[in-house]
Amino acid sequence: MNNKLKDLRAEHGMTQADLAARLAVSRQTVIAIESGRYDPSLPLAFAIAGVFSRRIEDIFVDKA
């Protein structure tokens, strides 16, 4: 799955550590999601969408 997390984070002037703290996850998890190595669970995806006030499908896009 592709995602726009890195762009959104930059737009909001947040560091990976800031975002990790907001989501209560590790910075490694934020890095893994941004790089596409890990697709988050639905609750975490909703939390990410909530931080950026977007819909999940605006942030996460299927590769197919």
Partner 1 sequence: MPGQMLNLKSHDTRTGLQFFLEALGAVLLLAVTTIFAHRVQPGTPFYTAAQLAPIVPVWLLPLVMFRHYLRIDELQRLQFLQSIALTGGLMAGLAWSWPSVQRAFALQPPLGGMWEVNFSILFVVISALLPKLRATPRAR
Point out which residues bind partner 1 (CB under 8 A): 17, 21, 24-29, 32, 37-41, 44
Least distance between partner 1 and beta carbon 28 (Å): 7
**Contact status, residue 36 vs residue 1, Cβ threshold 8 Å:** yes
Instruction: Report the C-alpha gap between 11 and 61 in whole angstroms.
Output: 18
Residues near 38 by beta carbon (within 8 Å), at least 6 away in sequence: 29, 32
**Which C-beta is closer to partner 1: that of 10 or that of 21?**
21
The one-letter code for the residue type at 53 is: S
Least distance between partner 1 and beta carbon 32 (Å): 6
Least distance between partner 1 and beta carbon 39 (Å): 7
**Which C-beta is closer to partner 1: that of 10 or that of 28?**
28
